[in-house]
């Protein structure tokens, strides 16, 4: 059954459990709103910020939320890097495309100057730094990260021409403790480390997701509690289970999704009796 059929059957504006979500469906995790406020302020000064978490804890969606908030600032240029694993030449090429600078691969110094001039002009005209967002930043080579640090630093490191937000898994903060990347790590002014979420918070997320999608009673309260309890404190696991339940319920034309379907599909082991 297609997503369009599922939407029509349950009166949904979109599937709340799939990754492609509209901005109003992005649920801020604890601490995210405070971090976003800091990030918006830092767009005036530039520098580096960091988001880190184990897989499935919401770091990419947090970066999506930040991109949406920054995109609402008039005249602010926000570039999103699509290929963080590039070698240095392609890294420069992508920066050039993101910020509208024609770069010649054979003249890296010319590209260095052109990017800095472009960013400097943006700073002077908007009183804000252009923004670079890098998801999966643990894949960026140390050479490219070092080049980025040097590229955006001006006036003996007293001014930053760019604001870069690095988002990656738990390996990324550890890399900034190595001698090679310690100079960049010491310049990260704002850090957000996302943690596994308690079942109660995952229940809040499910209720928010269903309400925003247009069907707050899509699942019974009992099912919401079961899903949250068996999601291993992980948002991605929770969404995978919820999406599978929704697909099967639609195929069977069920009016509401309840705990009986959960036990049929996932059959969690019953809790072991306590010792007397």
Residues 236 and 155 in one domain: no
Phi-psi region of 157 (alpha: psi -120 to 50; beta: other; left: phi over 0): left
Q: Express as a percent the part of the chain with pLDDT over 90.
A: 80
- The CA R_g of the chain, rounded to the nearest whole Å, is 22
75: in domain: yes
For residue 271, pLDDT beyond 70: no
Q: What is the CATH number of the domain that holds 149?
A: 3.40.50.300
**Which of 242, 238, 244 is CA-nearest to residue 201?**
238
Tell if the pTM clears 0.85, that is, is over it. yes
Q: How many CB atoms lie within 10 A of CB 248?
A: 15
Residues 138 and 168 in one domain: yes
Residues 171 and 81 in one domain: yes
- What pLDDT score does 227 carry? 97
Helices 235-251, 199-213: inter-axial angle, 10-degree rounding = 50
Residues 36 and 140 in one domain: yes
- What pLDDT score does 123 carry? 87
Tokens of 191: 């850090």
Q: Is the model more confident about 197 or about 2?
A: 197
Residues 227 and 107 in one domain: no
- What pLDDT score does 5 carry? 84
Q: Please tell me the total count of domains within the chain.
A: 2
Q: Which domain holds residue 111?
A: 30-193
Q: Which of 147, 169, 193 is the last residue of a domain?
A: 193
* Residues 237, 57: Cα–Cα separation, whole Å: 9
Q: What average pLDDT does range 154-168 have in this prediction?
A: 93
- What pLDDT score does 77 carry? 92
103: in domain: yes
- What pLDDT score does 108 carry? 79
Q: What average pLDDT does range 240-252 have in this prediction?
A: 96
- What pLDDT score does 276 carry? 43
Residues 189 and 231 in one domain: no
Q: Which of 193, 213, 234 is the last residue of a domain?
A: 193
pLDDT per residue as tens digits for the range 63-109: 999 999 999 999 899 999 999 999 998 999 999 999 998 887 677 78
Query: HSE on the CB side for 248, CA within 13 Å?
Result: 15
Residues 83 and 172 in one domain: yes
Give the pLDDT band (50/70/90) at residue 28. Answer: very high
Q: Is 189 exposed, middle or buried (0-12, 13-18, 19+ CB in 10 A)?
A: middle
- What pLDDT score does 270 carry? 55
- What pLDDT score does 109 carry? 83
pLDDT per residue as tens digits for the range 163-215: 999 999 999 999 999 999 999 999 999 999 999 999 999 999 999 999 999 99
181: in domain: yes
Residues 6 or more apart in contact with residue 52 via CB below 8 angstroms: 59, 167, 168, 169, 170, 172, 173, 191, 192, 193, 194
Residues 6 or more apart in contact with residue 181 via CB below 8 angstroms: 142, 145, 146, 175
141: in domain: yes
Tokens of 205: 């997320």
């Amino acid at each position: 059954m297609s997503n369009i059929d599922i939407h029509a059957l349950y009166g949904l504006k979109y599937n709340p459990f799939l990754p492609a979500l509209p901005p109003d469906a992005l649920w801020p995790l604890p601490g995210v709103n405070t971090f976003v406020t800091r990030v918006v302020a830092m767009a005036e000064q530039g520098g580096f910020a960091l988001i880190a978490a184990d897989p499935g804890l919401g770091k990419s969606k947090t970066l999506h939320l930040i991109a949406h908030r920054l995109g609402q600032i008039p005249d602010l240029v926000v570039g999103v890097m699509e290929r963080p694993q590039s070698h240095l030449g392609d890294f420069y090429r992508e920066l050039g495309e993101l910020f509208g600078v024609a770069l010649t691969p054979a003249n890296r110094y010319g590209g260095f100057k052109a990017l800095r001039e472009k960013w400097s002009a943006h700073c002077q005209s908007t009183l804000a730094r252009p923004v670079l967002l890098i998801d999966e930043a643990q894949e960026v080579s140390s050479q490219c990260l070092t080049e980025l640090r040097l590229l955006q630093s001006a006036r003996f490191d007293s001014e930053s021409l760019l604001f870069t937000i690095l988002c990656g898994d738990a390996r990324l903060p550890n890399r900034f403790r190595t001698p090679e990347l310690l100079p960049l790590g010491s310049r990260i002014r704002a850090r957000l480390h996302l943690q596994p979420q308690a079942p109660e918070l995952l229940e809040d997320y499910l209720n928010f997701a269903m309400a925003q999608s247009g069907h707050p009673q899509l699942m019974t309260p009992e099912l919401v509690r079961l899903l949250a309890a068996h999601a291993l404190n992980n948002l991605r696991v929770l969404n995978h289970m919820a999406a599978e339940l929704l697909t099967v319920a639609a195929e069977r034309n069920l009016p509401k999704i309840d705990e009986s379907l959960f036990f049929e599909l996932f059959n969690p082991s019953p809790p072991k009796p306590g010792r007397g």
